[in-house]
Structure 1
Amino acid sequence: MATEAKRPKVDEGPEPLRHFLQWCDGVGLKLSSKVCVSREGTVAQYGMLATEDVDEGEVLFSIPRSALLHQGTTKVSSLLEQDRDSLESSSGWVPLLLALLYEYTSPRSHWGPYLSLWTDFSTLDHPMFWSKAERDGLLRGTGVAEAVDTDLVNIRREYAEVVLPFMAKHADLWDPQKHSLELYTRLVAFVMAYSFQEPLDDDEEDDDEEEQEEKVHNPPMMVPMADMLNHVSDHNANLEYTPACLKMVSVRPIRKGEEVFNTYGQMANWQLLHMYGFTEPYPNNGHDTADIPMVNLYTAATQGIQSDVDRRLAEEKQELLFRTVGEKGAFIFGKQGCLTDTELHTALKVLCMSMEDFQEFRENEGWEEDDEEEEEQISLAFSNEGLPGLQAEWRSLIHAAARLTLASYAAGSGEESKNGDGELMEDEVARAGLSHRQQRALQVRHGQKSILLRVLELTKS
């Protein structure tokens, strides 16, 4: 199956692209003669192709920091800095979004040729723009629908409580009629799909834990040209940050005619769909994951309890685990086993404790932290190789929790309801008849179900 696009691009013909490339020349963006931006031969309407063989370590383009778009480079940066305290929010994105609201609607914006590549952001197809019925029907069980619901609540609250009061204070520059909630939501999706976040430098990473908790991660920024590259997990280029500029550097040889791909990190398909509106076709995404909710493991452990004493003990264990793992917490499984093995190990030990052991555990406020050797043993025990060798009671709980999780998925709608997702993935004719959204949802569901089915196989009695 062909690699799919990172996200949809606007087809505006050559004019916007030509103006954008002219703008790049004007701002000092240096593009290697070995690559070009093209709408032909790429997995999306725009992408980057190698016009000559590229060796590993070559700079494909560099962009000066002055050409990046963020709250510090916008024309209204002084106002955003002046009112910085009032623009604080849980997302940390409000200053950038206000900058984008202003620059996108300003006819004299310095970034006009860049932002004109998106006429109204209507091509963005994140699940937040699907109907709730579509999300709940196609994505039930995947975690995406719940994440989107949370996003939409937070966006509306942020706009009403932070953005509108700021715009009222600066009515000469921002107008709620023009800078509406709808446009704000579109720009949130734009930032989700196209922005970059500079990693903390070494000095920041070395701060002690208390200082780290107080730090705010570097805010997102828009990086023209870098966001033209499409994404795959098996990428061939990577963005590097220097004090003077940002550079896209090849991480392995790229042959003439090949597309240049960037990566956004080790992201599962559900994360890609949620954040970027696309998926990688199964089984290409080696970073796919499936969650087994904590509540399902607890339900599996309490099935069949009859006595009041055992029920009270189970509730005490639940209370403790919900405090440590979280009521909505989950155990993450990848293609090679459990990625949150330490948390799963703790949960299983607690759920299987006798009353005496549990009381001692609470009195001691848990166990001492595992040393490096013990952590390696735990990691191996919860890998695909180790799961069949777990003690029977633990295997049984994981098996039952995985089965409960599988039962929570949507069967799909329309053509999907006639087949299991696995069968549908094998039926090219039926799959071709699905809508764009149905296909993306299918990729997410099938990838997660495949992991859970593997867990069932490895933990069966």
Structure 2
Amino acid sequence: MASRAKRPKVESAETPGNPEQEMEEALDRFLDWCRQSGLELSSKVYVSKEGTVADYGLVAKDEIEEGELLFSIPRSALLSQHTTTIRDLLKKEEAALESQSGWVPLLLSMMFEITSTDSRWKPYLSLWPGISTLHHPMFWSEEERNRLLLGTGVALAVEKDLLNIEEEYNSIVLPFMKLHPNTFDPHKHTLDLYKKLVAFIMAYSFQEPLEDDEDDDDEDEDKTPNPPMMVPMADILNHVANHNANLEFTPECLKMVSIRKISKGEEIFNTYGQLANWQLLHMYGFTEPYPSNTHEAMDIRMQMMYDAALQAVRTEQERKLLMEKWEFLTQLEIVGEEGEFVIGQSGVLTEEELYSTLKVLSMSMEEFEEYKANDGWEEDEDEDDDLSSLANAVIPKLKPAWKQLLRNTVIMRLKSYSSGLKEEEATLANETTYRRLSKRERDSLQVRYAQKMILHRLLQLTE
């Protein structure tokens, strides 16, 4: 990682005494707990605050080859709904704890364990002196989110999160706690604590991938994801797109394995997935400085392309034809009210959806009537086959009408931001000005800038 591209560890609101000494003691207790719990750490790595991008990280003590085991964690040391002290209660009430998120059992486990003085996981949880300082945008003021993140998609995602969290707490968690007053206390296990633990789990938990089954490929979308779990030691590793280690799951344990050669003194990085900066900020509270994030991408609402096409309409007949085309695309489930076109650094990621939308919206009335009569099928699509990838190299070769519609949509999307690209380029180019920004301002700037770079590249490609 080139610079501060890590979810920051939570900080204590009040840390009496010597903070550095207390953190060292907490780390020693955690490492002792790891050994007692059967966690095996390679002699070639060590946990440190020195030589890492921020707070704790894992550093190579010696040169490491590709495929080496860095540490292994027995499943008994994981903190989940299946290992918590209250696992029997959660299992008994399993039906009552079902939710859209699927996180309620782990959240209840965390609420219980983090407030229990004799929790088995206390040395692990003590690595986080408190959860009063989290960097997720859900803890920013609404005014700050709207001002710094307008147009990025983050503010809208956070608004949905907050509504869902409150609904989940009031409709599922609070009634459950009232039924079990000997285990939970609503005055201690509050909505505020619940919200912080949601962000905590978003930033630090892991989900085991579903098992691959060649016979069930068509049913993968219907499978219920595995519930999240807390993985000691693994959550110390920082994220970067160009990572050098990967977490592997086996029936007995979880293993962190190097995926390339790692030099002595180099920090060891895991990955949280192929996530754009807006997703990293939303879920983890940090960003990767441009252009470090090779998974950078941004969204354009499908409805925005309809609005852009509507602006070019000159007659009532054209307006009715456009509405009919959009309705037909909706019936084919190519577009939707909540749908989005996803654009990455190398081109369009939702290729089929955007290609079909550009084609249909650019058709003449005669072409559309024939297309509709065939239920969206064409006898000869050879001419389009070479273009349907919508990679950056292909976009300049699109038909003029398609390029114009795409260009108009991009221009409309750029207007959704409160600032322009040149303004942000100037801020990034001036190191003194950039350093004066708060962390929230810097992270927001990185999100906006990366998205606008993708949009401006599209403008150049559609000229």
What residue in structure 1 maps to residue 396 of structure 2? 388
Match of 2:115 in 1: 105
Q: Residues of 2 paired with 1:122 and 1:292: CA distance?
A: 34
Match of 1:125 among 135, 154, 166: 135
Write the distance in 2 (CA, Å) between the matches of 1:114 and 1:379. Answer: 51
The 5 Å alignment of 1:121-200 reads 121-200=131-210
1:446 paired to 2:453: no
CA contact (8 A) 1:342 1:375 kept: no
Is structure 2 residue 428 aligned with structure 1 residue 425?
yes
Indicate whether 1:377 and 2:386 are aligned: yes
Q: 1:170 to 1:376 in 2, by over 3 A?
A: farther
Give the drift of 1:176: 0.9
How far apart are the structure 2 equivalents of 1:35 and 1:368?
A: 59
Q: Which amino acid aligns with 1:207?
A: D
Structure-2 separation of matches of 1:244 and 1:299: 54
TM-score, normalization by structure 2: 0.93
Assess if the C-alpha contact under 8 Å between 1:294 and 1:331 holds in 2.
Answer: yes
Aligned to 1:231: 239
Contact 2:134-2:285 at 8 Å conserved across structures: yes
Partner of residue 318, structure 1: 326
Residue number in structure 2 paired with 1:201: 211
Cα deviation, 1:70-114, whole Å, max 9, x if unaligned, reads 101111111111111111111110011011111111111111111
User: Residues 267-323 of structure 1: CA distance to partner in whole angstroms, max 9, x if unpaired?
Assistant: 110110011000001111111012222122112212132322221221222333345
Where do 1:34-433 residues align within 5 Å? 34-203=44-213, 206-207=215-216, 209=218, 211-322=219-330, 324=333, 325-367=335-377, 377-380=386-389, 382-411=390-419, 420-433=423-436
Deviation at 1:361, TM superposition (A): 3.5
Question: Match for 1:306: what amino acid?
Answer: R
**Residue identity opposite 1:390 in structure 2:** L
- Evaluate the alpha carbon distance shift between residue 378 and residue 101 of structure 1 in structure 2; reply closer, same or farther with a 3 A threshold: farther
Change (3 A) 1:138 1:36: same
| Deviation of the 1:375 alpha carbon | 9.4
* Percentage identity across paired residues of the two chains: 57
Pair 316,167 (structure 1): closer, same or farther in 2 beyond 3 Å: same
Q: Label 1:44 to 1:206 Cα distance change in 2 as closer, same or farther (>3 A).
A: farther
Counterpart of 1:451 in structure 2: which amino acid? I
In 2 relative to 1, CA 104–378 (structure 1 residues): closer, same or farther, beyond 3 Å?
Answer: farther
Task: After TM superposition, give the deviation of residue 32 of structure 1 in Å.
Answer: 0.4
Gaps of 5+ in 1: none
Residue by residue over 1:388-440, the C-alpha shift from the partner in whole angstroms, topping out at 9 and shown as x without a partner, is 1111000001111111111111229xxx9xx6112211111111111110000
Q: Report what 2:31 is aligned to.
A: 21
Name segments (4+ residues, structure 1) moved above 6 Å.
368-371, 373-376
Q: What's the counterpart of residue 16 of structure 2?
A: none
Q: CA deviation at 1:353?
A: 2.1
Cα distance in 2 between the residues matched to 1:201 and 1:90: 22
Q: What is the match of residue 7 of structure 1?
A: 7
Stretches of structure 2 that go unaligned for 5 or more consecutive residues are 12-18
Q: 1:322 to 1:123 in 2, by over 3 A?
A: farther
Question: Is the 8 Å Cα contact of residues 342 and 378 (structure 1) preserved in structure 2?
Answer: no
CA–CA distance in structure 1, aligned partners of residues 60 and 377 of structure 2: 55
3-state SS in 2 of match to 1:319: helix
d(CA) in 1 for partners of 2:379 and 2:173?
44
Partner Cα separation in structure 1 for residue 120 and residue 26 of structure 2:
15
Residue 378 of structure 1: CA displacement? 4.0
Look up the equivalent residue of 1:111 and give its one-letter code.
Answer: W
Aligned equivalent of 1:434, options 434, 437, 454: 437
CA contact (8 A) 1:235 1:261 kept: yes
In the alignment, the residues of structure 2 paired with residue 370 and residue 244 of structure 1 have an alpha-carbon distance, to the nearest angstrom, of 54
CA displacement at 1:351 relative to structure 2 = 0.7
| Alpha-carbon distance in 2 for matches of 1:99, 1:66 | 15
Residues 315 and 379 from structure 1, CA distance in 2 versus in 1: closer, same or farther, beyond 3 angstroms?
A: closer
Q: What is the alpha-carbon distance in structure 2 between the residues aligned to residue 311 and residue 268 of structure 1? A: 36
Count of matched residue pairs: 451
Q: TM-score, normalised by structure 1?
A: 0.93
CA distance in structure 1 between the partners assigned to 2:129 and 2:280 by the alignment: 23
Q: How has the CA–CA distance of structure 1 residues 90 and 362 changed in structure 2, closer, same or farther, with 3 Å as cutoff?
A: farther
**Alignment deviations for residues 198-221 of structure 1 (CA, whole Å, 9 cap, x no partner):** 111123x64253x44442111111
* 8 Å CA contact 1:140, 1:408 repeated in 2: yes
Residue deviations 1:242-291 (CA, integer Å, cap 9, x gap): 11100000011111111011011211101100110000011111110122
Indicate the SS of the match to 1:429: helix
Matched residue type, 2:216: D
2:387–2:394 contact (8 Å) kept in structure 1: no
- Checking the alignment, whether the CA contact within 8 Å between 2:387 and 2:397 is kept in structure 1 is no
SS in 1 for 2:386: helix
Deviation at 1:121, TM superposition (A): 1.2
Structure 2 partner of 1:456: 459
TM-superposed CA distance for 1:45, in Å, is 1.0
SS in 2 for 1:159: helix
